Structure 1
Amino acid sequence: MDRSADGWTALHADALTVLTGWTPTSPDAAVARDRTLVLLDAGPVAMDRAHRAGHVTASALVFDATGSQVLLCLHGKFHKWVQLGGHCEPADRTLAGAALREATEESGIVGLRIDPLPIDVDVHPVACQGGSLHHDVRFAVFAPVGATERVSVESEALGWFPPERLPQPLAGGTARLVTPGLAAFRRASPHPVS
């Protein structure tokens, strides 16, 4: 293994374990999961944004404490509303940890909690490295009561929206996170939402 892959070994192992044992939440997620497992055959380098053939990213659909609102960001580069998330870092040890770190950095909210099971996987083209693919593993994240968000340098805006009335323009794949995200919220909540 070359030195550049050393920092990615634990995260790569976690990605293999999580995705191999995961039951996909939709047919599209199943196809994306299988494509991501093929990408992971390249080894730990598949976690690094420099891997032009594609790389694993982690994102999070953030729910408020009641499950009646989701937090989205108006992305600063492609000017669409999208869930929080992005590139993994060499210090990340788990995909869930990477998604939680990204959600915390991009929302400014302290005390977020994450469901460690993915709610979706999506593969989509991006401009990284002159053209690449994000193999995005997506999680549900839960904000504490009274959470106050703060816009980061990566966003033009942050906003809370009812899951049934998401804003436009909306990034592809974001809407399909709502149903499995609400299921995760119900599993994690001591007071299920109907």
Structure 2
Amino acid sequence: MSLYDDTVLVLKGYEGQEELRQEELRQAYLDHLSAHEDGLWKACQAGHITASALVVDPERGRVLLTLHRKLRMWLQMGGHCEPQDSSLAAAALREATEESGVPGLVLLPGGPVRLDRHPIPAPCHWHFDVQYAVVAPPDAVQEISDESLDLRWFAYDEVADVADESVLRLLEATRARL
């Protein structure tokens, strides 16, 4: 199965939370892919699908966030799909592993946790982010990547002090799934 086909199936099966906005976003993602054969790739100037993952340590009640080098914001790990990604979930896991430096991350069952579409600077205009959550092993030690200015664990109740609303919503949805 192609990454495109996997992404369409993931989105068609996504139920998310019981809020209308997630259903509208899910349909917007599907419409985008239907209109743009290259809608998975960074080269698509109308916007593209991205895959991200919130790294959680439920035993210690904390999350690992990256201080994004370009955006200078504390965010979950994530980024662009690559041709070698076998699935959207694999892309999210790859991004989380690359950006956190933590081996042995495990995807939280149940598929994506949330969808979040956000504007980005031209020449592309939108990221259609499919957000997963991954559980870190108990002995996880992070290692900063070239894409980050910093990488740090935050207690659940500290996230509101450093991150924007999209990260808070992802954390809330992740905690509900846990």
CA distance in 1, matches of 2:134, 2:123: 31
* Structure 2 residue 112 is the aligned partner of structure 1 residue 118: yes
Q: Deviations over 1:126-181 (max 9, x none)?
A: 12x52321000000100001100011001110111122221544244111011221
Note the aligned Cα RMSD (angstroms). Answer: 1.7
CA distance in 2, matches of 1:183, 1:67: 16
CA distance in 1, matches of 2:108, 2:135: 8
List alignment gaps of at least 5 residues for structure 1: 1-8, 187-194
Find 2:29's aligned residue among 36, 39, 46: 36
Name the residue aligned to 2:170. Answer: 177
* 1:33/1:122 contact within 8 Å kept: no
Find 1:134's aligned residue among 127, 135, 143: 127
* 1:68/1:162 contact within 8 Å kept: yes
Find 2:62's aligned residue among 61, 69, 73: 69
Find 1:100's aligned residue among 93, 108, 120: 93
* DSSP 3-state at the match of 1:93: coil
* 1:56/1:88 contact within 8 Å kept: yes
CA distance in 2, matches of 1:29, 1:67: 29
**Closer, same or farther: CA 67–98 of 1 in aligned 2, 3 Å:** farther
2:3 corresponds to which letter in structure 1? L
Q: Deviations over 1:69-115 (max 9, x none)?
A: 01111111111101100000011121110000000000000000002
* DSSP 3-state at the match of 1:164: helix
TM-score (norm 2): 0.92
* DSSP 3-state at the match of 2:53: strand
Moved more, 105-114 or 16-25: 16-25
* 1:15/1:95 contact within 8 Å kept: yes
TM-score (norm 1): 0.85
Identity of aligned residues (%): 41
* 2:100/2:143 contact within 8 Å kept: yes
- The number of residue pairs the alignment matches comes to 176
The 5 Å alignment of 1:44-83 reads 44-66=37-59, 68-83=61-76
List alignment gaps of at least 5 residues for structure 2: none
* 1:48/1:56 contact within 8 Å kept: yes
* DSSP 3-state at the match of 2:46: coil
Name the residue aligned to 1:189. Answer: none
